[in-house]
Amino acid sequence: MNRLARTLAAAAFVFAAAPASAAEPVRAFAPDADPAASAIWQKVRASLFGTREIAPAGADVLELLAPSRAVDAGVVPVAVHSRLPQGAAGYVATIYLIVDANPSPVSAIFRFTPDSGRAQVETRLRVDQYSHLRAIAETDDGRLFMATRFVKASGGCSAAPGSDAAAALASLGQMRLRVSGDPAAAQPVLARLQISHPNHTGLAMDQLTRQVTPAHFLRQLEVRHAGRLVFAADLDFSISENPWFRFAFLPRGDARLEVEASDTQGLRFAGVLTPVRE
């Protein structure tokens, strides 16, 4: 859990340094600004990676996809695709997903294995202010590569939940799994996992009570296939309501996946899921 502890430490100073007005982040995180010069990124970088070199990632190494202007700041689609081989001889071990201007900038840390087939993940993020979005891939031998995008969005972390509170509680922890591709083809297939959870940020006001809804979000996720780890993740409240992930794995006879998740209230959700084919 050392990585998760560093994640929380990296976020703590951002709350203390948050700008007082909504206009300031737009100026501080302008699309023509040098991504490397972001003061928040420099602090996060030092916290997670120290002085280690981070090489710019070309499209042949790492691809980061996100809209330049989000339709909904609470549900911003993001995709990270590694182009590096994923096998016993070498693989991408970790992908870090960072939103500089979010109150907690380290949104997720995904850990992969050779059984992942490909180191890639798609999800949906809350974006609170105009910001640089970063994906950093770390290989098993310690090399670091970074891809960066600028996203225009605001208010994603403080927006009111989209679902009714009672309905969200009734479906809490329910999971759905879909798979595209042929599990018998001896090559990676894509899976899409959705977990019902409000993922409250602790920054949004309940419109009925006029009180801030306490933080309650998924913190950890593990997905296994045939007893082998496909990927694990440390998550933060930047992940959108009803977290959704698309990822690859190498099927071994069938496409059932064992999923275990836990949240900030200590609740645990687990099951062996038989997917529906897309």
pLDDT digits (tens, 9 = 90+) for 102-114: 999 999 999 999 9
Strands 257-263 and 268-273 turn out to be antiparallel
Domains, the chain, ordered by start: 2-277 (2.60.40.2470)
Rounded-to-integer distance, Cα 58 and Cα 145, Å: 9
Task: Look at residues 139, 130, 122 and name the one whose alpha carbon lies nearest to residue 40.
Answer: 130
pLDDT digits (tens, 9 = 90+) for 61-87: 999 999 999 999 999 999 999 999 999
User: Which amino acid is present at 77?
Assistant: P
Rounded-to-integer distance, Cα 185 and Cα 212, Å: 50
Q: How far is CA 64 from CA 2, 114, 188, 220, 250, in A?
A: 26, 21, 20, 23, 22
Cα 179 versus chain centre, distance:
20
H or E stretch covering 206: none
Mean pLDDT of 226-231: 95
Residue 128 and residue 155 in contact, taking contact as beta carbons nearer than 8 Å: yes
> Tokens representing 62?
């790492």
pLDDT digits (tens, 9 = 90+) for 166-179: 888 899 999 999 99
pLDDT digits (tens, 9 = 90+) for 128-168: 999 999 999 999 999 999 999 999 999 999 998 877 778 88
The predicted pLDDT at position 239 comes to: 98
Residue 259 and residue 160 in contact, taking contact as beta carbons nearer than 8 Å: no
* Beta sheet of 131-139, edge-to-edge order: 55-56, 144-151, 131-139, 92-99, 106-112, 228-235, 218-225, 257-263, 268-273
Mean pLDDT of 34-59: 92
Residue 180 and residue 188 in contact, taking contact as beta carbons nearer than 8 Å: no
- Of 132 and 185, which is predicted with more confidence? 132
Contacts of 278 (CB under 8 A, 6+ apart): 178, 179, 180, 192
pLDDT band at 32 (very low <50, low <70, confident <90, very high): low
Residue 148 and residue 183 in contact, taking contact as beta carbons nearer than 8 Å: no
Q: How far is CA 229 from CA 112, 233, 253, in A?
A: 8, 11, 16
Which three-class secondary structure state does DSSP give residue 43? Answer: helix
